[in-house]
Structure 1
Amino acid sequence: MPQPATLSATRCILGEGALWHPDRGSFLWFDILGHRLYEHDGQTERHWQFDRAVSAAGIVEVSHLLIASERDLFLFDLDSASETRLCDLEADNPVTRSNDGRADPQGGFWIGTMGYKAEPGAGAIYRWYKGELRQLFGEITIPNAICFAPDGGHAYFTDTPTRVIRRVALDAEGWPVGEPDTWLDLRPEGLNPDGAVTDAAGNLWNAQWEANRVASYAPDGRFLRSFALPTPQTTCPAFGGADYDRLMVTSAAEGRPEEDGAAGNTFVFKTDARGRAEPRVVLA
């Protein structure tokens, strides 16, 4: 079993939003409650500080990201650290913040919201596509595992407390078609699905909160294998590196004892799996 290396020993309160940026040759991730975006190129770590919670991003171009915050979606220039607002995201609701999100193969961006105290049903899942923000699914408590089949035919997501990962078909423009179905039921094992990503073969890799692991499942939902981590609160994986054979996994220190020195760290595995480049977000 591969052993994780520590990519970053920075203790994130709530690490999330793992993302590889091929143009920059770097991993990106967020500390939602620390209001920070981090970047690590394998040698050097840097960060950007925000005045609000930020949680997930999609790549637009080499120096620009679409970022989701507790109140808006905005375009962020990594070179100048300047922001350009795109639209509100539950800006009139102080109860909620953004959580898990990812770009889809059609160029849209999916983002979930949730209550700061995980209030039941307070959140939702939205899609931003070519200037339009549309709510897709409501009454979500903790949105997670947002990722997509490589061919863009399906999206996956979960409401973590349900312990069920759902799948929904997508049309040619990336909008859901029909009702989501149960793709993976983790209730018998008592596992809590957190962030997820698919690899080039369509296998889904899911970080599992409080389980010290990230687990891989075939497109038909069969369990394939898992990689162990040295801290229980694993949150979000992403493939990266020149050959997309590095699996990065974020974690959370919130609520963990100081003795858990790995809590909130960001890890990387060398794997025999292959990821793929994240889709670019289409602005218009």
Structure 2
Amino acid sequence: MTLTPRIVAQTRDRLGESPLWHQAEQAIYWTDLYGPILHRLGRDGRIESWTIPGTSFIGSFVFASGGRVMLAIDTGLALFEPGSGRITPFADPNAAREGVIYNDSKIDRQGRLWVGTLDLAEAEPRGMLYCVDAEGNARLGDGGFTVCNGPAFSPDGGVLYFSDSVGRRLLAYDLAPGTPVLRNRRVFAALGPDDGIPDGLTVDAEGGLWCAHYGAGRLTRFAPDGTVLMVIDLPCPIVTSMGFGGPDMTTLYVTTGWSPGVTRAEDETGPGGALLAFDTGIRGLPEPVFAVG
């Protein structure tokens, strides 16, 4: 399927990531990993941007209680207050391992934070997927990946989906409500050499799993059994993540990026690095808030 998305924010993010819809504000937030910048696009069309001091990367973020944002930055998880700019360290399950940084994160249906790491050189399987509770206690979910990406959860919370990006595969795990233990790891989908790299994930209200294909300029929607339901081509090769939003939760926001090694010369002045959006006719699910003290 070919859809022409509209550009809703003409940013020039080197690596846009983590689009999250804020229900109360009716606003979309996202990041530039290399900025390191947190963006907000409000209902009035105005873009606010915060450059995060003291760090080189924002791997991802989630909304936290009290109007705060939980950032996954170089030094660990940290609470950020957009109004004051205050940053408070929260947890570091990575334990300051050199050459390993935080990447994608999401809140599960039980309110727990799942965050992955990656080997900065993208050469060794040093990446881990952690589960962090509201008190900052961390538990290892799985490990041995070069790049952890895109945790997402089925509507009932019983399945965790995960992008093993360098392995070019999507994994699925069973997740019981009362425990952060992952069971029954299995390959949900394998990507071919022309399919790019599986990156960000999100799940819609019908249980469809959406995957961004970094380097291939497309999105794929899978049924819960792994059947491909839809492939959507996008106008730039670096597509990193997507998330539902809008008043009726049917708008899909898509983050993109640009890179001399991936982006074609003719794309250098194109939409790479912008925030895109299009109407899907499929309702998404609101992302939970991390209820920290």
CA gap of 1:83–1:258, structure 2 versus 1, over 3 A, is farther
Answer yes or no: is 1:57 the counterpart of 2:58. Answer: no
Deviations 1:96-137 (A, max 9, x none): 211111111110111111122212212111111122112211
- Give me the identity figure in percent: 30
What's the CA shift for 1:226?
A: 1.9
RMSD: 1.7
What's the CA shift for 1:59?
A: 1.7
Q: Write the letter of the residue equivalent to 1:107.
A: G
1:109 to 94, 105, 113: 113
Name the TM-score, length of structure 1 as normaliser.
0.94
Q: Is the 8 A contact 2:252 2:277 kept in 1?
A: yes
Q: Is the 8 A contact 2:65 2:291 kept in 1?
A: no
Deviations 1:27-46 (A, max 9, x none): 11111111111111240111
CA gap of 1:176–1:21, structure 2 versus 1, over 3 A, is same
| CA distance, structure 2, for counterparts of residue 173 and residue 11 of structure 1 | 42
Deviates more, 1:72-81 or 1:171-180: 171-180
CA gap of 1:63–1:282, structure 2 versus 1, over 3 A, is closer
1:48 to 42, 47, 50: 50
What's the CA shift for 1:175?
A: 1.1
1:76 to 69, 77, 80: 80
Residue 32 of structure 1 corresponds to which residue in structure 2?
A: 33
Residue 15 of structure 1 corresponds to which residue in structure 2?
A: 16
Q: Is the 8 A contact 2:195 2:213 kept in 1?
A: no
Residue 291 of structure 2 corresponds to which residue in structure 1?
A: 282
Residue 271 of structure 1 corresponds to which residue in structure 2?
A: 280
| CA distance, structure 2, for counterparts of residue 74 and residue 184 of structure 1 | 33
Q: Write the letter of the residue equivalent to 2:106.
A: R
Q: Could you tell me which runs of 5 or more consecutive residues in structure 1 were left unpaired when the two chains were aligned.
A: none
Q: Write the letter of the residue equivalent to 1:266.
A: L
What's the CA shift for 1:62?
A: 6.0
Helix, strand or coil at the partner of 1:187: coil
Q: Is the 8 A contact 1:108 1:174 kept in 2?
A: no
| CA distance, structure 2, for counterparts of residue 107 and residue 144 of structure 1 | 19
Q: Write the letter of the residue equivalent to 1:146.
A: P
2:232 to 224, 227, 231: 227
Q: Write the letter of the residue equivalent to 1:93.
A: R
The aligned runs of 1:136-215 (5 Å cut-off) are 136-187=141-192, 190-215=195-220
| CA distance, structure 1, for counterparts of residue 4 and residue 37 of structure 2 | 27
| CA distance, structure 2, for counterparts of residue 3 and residue 259 of structure 1 | 18
What's the CA shift for 1:23?
A: 1.2
Residue 254 of structure 1 corresponds to which residue in structure 2?
A: 259
Q: Is the 8 A contact 1:14 1:251 kept in 2?
A: yes
Name the TM-score, length of structure 2 as normaliser.
0.91
Helix, strand or coil at the partner of 1:221: coil
Answer yes or no: is 1:129 the counterpart of 2:129. Answer: no
